[in-house]
Amino acid sequence: MSGEDALRELAENRGCKLVRSRVRTPGRGDYGRFGLRDAKTGRELFGFGSKGLSATAEEIAQFLRGNAAATWQSSVGSARRAKPKPAPKPKPKPEPRLVVRDAKPRDAEAIAELIVALGYDVSATDVRRRLKGVAALVAEKGKVVGVLTTAITAVLHRPRPVGRISMMVVAEAARGGGIGAAMVAEAEKRLKAAGCGLVEVTSNRKRLRAHAFYERLGYERTSYRFAKPL
């Protein structure tokens, strides 16, 4: 085995490929010089200069037998053994958009739960039946979180009908986020479009927080409401 063949075999054993100068004329260019490439990637490892190959056979042998090659092999092995980077955490889901819409029969279960929380005894069956004759809005934010009902009354003492918000409730966990105000605004818009010149609100006198809420929206206490069971 020639010296060059032995050098080539040594390079192969180190995971390298020996590159020999193609110049065949002594004294010209990089004649008699060598270089090393990574056998798998082709990356230049040693003996490459701006004017061609630069290492002698002895320098190549020293590189392959010395610490430089060992360090290179260690770094390659570490790269191969490196654990993959963990997958990025999924982005949090966007918060559901608030939608105020007409109540549907499919909302009966959620509406009944809201009305029960208000202190009234009602079932989903009751709600489903009554929805046929009541104008009702629901606030939906991923699920139904509020309900509001309205009525329109024609009166002799006013030139235009009177609109009334007869009930409104927002789920306890969803309060304070503008849902009630959004439902009232939508109700006012619809009552105005229906020809009403005034909007009234009926609210039990013990619901002080509700009274303050309506006052913040511009409503005023104007009269008493009297009730008698029949």
- The domain limits of the chain are 3-79, 99-216
User: What is residue 192's predicted lDDT score, i.e. its pLDDT?
Assistant: 97
Share above pLDDT 90 across residues of the chain, in percent, rounded to a whole number: 51
More confident residue, 26 or 156: 156
168 pLDDT exceeds 50?
yes
The reply to whether the predicted model has a pTM over 0.75 is no
The single residue listed with the structure tokens 């309060």 is 175
pLDDT in tens, 98-147: 999 999 999 999 999 999 999 999 999 999 999 999 999 999 999 999 99
Using CA atoms, how far apart are residues 208 and 200, in angstroms rounded to an integer?
A: 17
More confident residue, 184 or 82: 184
User: What is residue 67's predicted lDDT score, i.e. its pLDDT?
Assistant: 46
Average pLDDT, stretch 26-50?
87
User: What is residue 74's predicted lDDT score, i.e. its pLDDT?
Assistant: 52
* Range scoring the smallest mean pLDDT among 72-81, 136-145, 192-201: 72-81
User: What is residue 230's predicted lDDT score, i.e. its pLDDT?
Assistant: 95
Please provide the average confidence, as pLDDT, over all residues in the chain.
88
Using CA atoms, how far apart are residues 41 and 85, in angstroms rounded to an integer?
A: 22
Using CA atoms, how far apart are residues 33 and 39, in angstroms rounded to an integer?
A: 19
Amino acid identity of 119?
Answer: G
More confident residue, 157 or 22: 157
85 pLDDT exceeds 70?
yes
User: What is residue 225's predicted lDDT score, i.e. its pLDDT?
Assistant: 85
Query: Judging by beta carbons within 10 Å of its beta carbon (0-12, 13-18, 19+), is residue 35 exposed, middle or buried?
Result: buried
Give the tokens for residue 103: 């109540």
Question: Is the CB of residue 56 less than 8 Å from the CB of residue 3?
Answer: no
What is the architecture, at CATH level 2, of domain 99-216?
3-Layer(aba) Sandwich (3.40)
